[in-house]
Amino acid sequence: MGIVLQLFTSETQLIQALSKNDAKAQRYLYDKYAARMLAVCNRYLPDRMEAEDVMIEGFMKIYQKIGQFKSEGSFEGWMRRLITNEALMQLRTKRHIEIDLDTPEAQKLPNYDQANQHLETEDLLHLIAQLPTGYRTVFNLYAIEGYSHAEIAEQLGITESTSKSQLHRARALLQQMLTNLEGEKDDYSNFKK
């Protein structure tokens, strides 16, 4: 691995080697970014094996499409977009995306003042993973990946208003889940006394 690190001292060198189908460059890229890209896949696909399969397919797409990277913006951001698209394609293929319009627990407005300020990132990611697929997908695309509602609508084949509605309901349901989690923690604290 030390030799590989010395070969690619800049991102430009790495991209040039990738465009020549250099196996060492491909291995280096995978080793460097696999964990981050798997985290992206896990946000959309809660099944670990399915997420790993999608990540590997995503890396294959990166290797195939490296010539399309125009050095405008972040290389990691470009890769993340390809991986995200691969995860969305998997969701569409398996028809996992269900737009929930009448979920009663998501009807109330979120109260952000009640959110626990000490919530760990891992706890929040766990709660996001529990959202219904449609809510989770729109929430991840908008709040984490930074897509606009127009882009989400195009990606998922829904209207912008549906995207906005799904985001609103995802936030409301997350707020309810946070409130329930805080209640459980308070109950546990009282039990220990």
Number of residues assigned to the chain: 193
pTM: 0.72
The full 3-state SS of 131-183, as one line of letters, equals CCHHHHHHHHHHHHCCCCHHHHHHHHCCCHHHHHHHHHHHHHHHHHHHHHHHH
CATH entry, 1-96, from 1.10.1740.10, 1.10.1280.10, 3.40.50.300, 3.50.50.60: 1.10.1740.10
Provide the pLDDT for residue 192.
Answer: 52
Same fold? 1-96, 99-193: no
Provide the pLDDT for residue 36.
Answer: 95
Fold classified for 99-193: Arc Repressor Mutant, subunit A (1.10.10)
Q: List per-residue pLDDT tens for the chain, 193 residues long.
A: 444 445 677 898 999 999 999 999 999 999 999 999 999 999 999 889 999 999 999 999 999 999 999 888 899 999 999 999 999 999 888 765 555 544 444 444 444 444 444 457 777 888 888 899 889 999 999 998 899 999 999 888 899 999 999 999 999 999 998 888 777 665 555 545 5
Helix (H, G, I), strand (E, B) or coil at 100: coil
Q: Which two tokens stand for residue 7?
A: 């070969």
* Residues 6 or more apart whose Cβ sits within 8 Å of residue 163: 138, 142, 149, 152, 153, 156
**Beta strands per DSSP E along 21-162:** none
φ/ψ of residue 152, rounded to 5: -65, -45
Q: Give the residue extent of every domain in the chain.
A: 1-96, 99-193
φ/ψ of residue 70, rounded to 5: -100, 15
